[in-house]
Structure 1
Amino acid sequence: MTAKTTPPHGERRCYLRGCRQPECVEANKRYCKQSDLRRHREGPSRIDAAAVTSHLRRLIDEEGWTQIDIAACTGIKVGTIGGLAMGRYKTCSPQNATIILAFEPDFDAERPGYWTSNVGSMRRLQALAVLGHPLYLVAEEAGISYATARHMCCQIRRVTSKDFAARIAAVYDRRRHQEGPSPVTRGIAKAAGWRGPDAWRDIDDPQCTPEEHRDELGAYRRQEIRHLAAFNVPEDEIADRLGMARAYVHDLIRDMGKAA
């Protein structure tokens, strides 16, 4: 283990160790003058964190944000966010305070265009649950935390980042024609009254309402396609029989094959 070296005279470190040699006293005075000048020009290096803590508590308790998500969106370390949110830090830097207080996740946020409605993401997660895809698996495939996905699915959030929305949409596009592995998830989704992928004409439109017959029609079509494909009926013929687009039938059969 390397022994600590004693700082030389003429440095403030030596003064802080108890040395009162004239050169060390002068080094301390010089540092204090520079610190006072910097504070006068740039403001205090630390400020009261009460307002920051209150803002973070509202985001977490009322808006459903997690410390990890706030850290990811603001660029501030999650440990700093956690310490401020829990009230362990009574002060913070003015820079962090400015960033956190400006973090207001809505369409008129400090970063215009960064946020989007959570409606589409919520419906996609619920639709995948109807098919039997557990939320934790969808979250893992999308590369987001389970807590974030749960908040999105249960409409705890009003908005979400476009990045998270795009990740959910990508998983949805890959899985929307596949039956999931969890009958428990299907039962939970049914009990909650969630709708499958075929119930929505425009899944991102907040004004769009689910259509029961479309959900039933989608389930019927998937069953018919699966039945005909099992007898090696060509995809083109299946599409013609059911009056569906050939590309849609091709994608669905391909996805069902992957699931199998």
Structure 2
Amino acid sequence: MTRTAAQRAAKAHNQRRMRRLMAYGQWAPMVDAEPARQHVIRLQRRGVALHVQSANTGVPVTTLCALLYGKAPYPPSKRIRTESAAALLAFEPTLDDCPAGARVDATGSIRRLRALATLGWTTQAISVHVTCVSAKTLEQLGRAGRASKVTAQLAREIRDFYAKTSHLPVPADVITPWIAERRRNHAARQGWVKPALWDDDSIDDPAAEPSVVERTPRYIALGEDCLELERLGHSRQQIAERLGVTRDGLQRALSLYRKTVLASSDMRKAA
């Protein structure tokens, strides 16, 4: 079989690495397959199919099948290549890796629904955008918070809607102001937490706790920093690099900052 230049280079690299490890007495090409097998089975139970695990780890589906079921007349693998085991154990799927019907932890979905309620969002209004379940089901999920699992599709729809709306006031043309106020009052009585007190990176973690002090939304901090650095003569590209974001990400944050903060300030001055 003819190999490409990249394949030849990879083979040469692996051979050099093997000789180096052998020289130090550290060469272990195969390891016990059981930890990797249990990890693959756990992900399967969460709804992550073998082909998804294969695509994300580079381990062929045939290897995964041999790991789980064996290959006639041989039983399931007792040993697996070290590199394959490391790749499999390192893979933890995100919500987007899960099929629509997979059952995932409901913690983040419940917290997001409650946080939206603190802004005045009703489940009836949310159900216009989160369409895979009824408004009644959303209400029960947010109020009771008893569900331990929801479908990946529902979790994704709630997450995406929350990402679009959690930093904005509820539009008066979507929810009547007195209804929004009633919803906010209900959320306050329940002790539900505002979006600004949740870290987007940990809101799905059952062990995470909300912040005690309300944080400035990131788009506001980026917008303020951008305008200040522009006044000092920096270009958008320089500002993006300095703030550790992409230029497109900086532009989105600045656009949102102008739309919400500066527009609100102009309205107050006019009043």
The verdict on a shared fold, with TM-score over 0.5 as the criterion, is no
Q: Which has the larger radius of gyration?
A: 1
Q: Tell me the TM-score normalized by structure 1.
A: 0.45
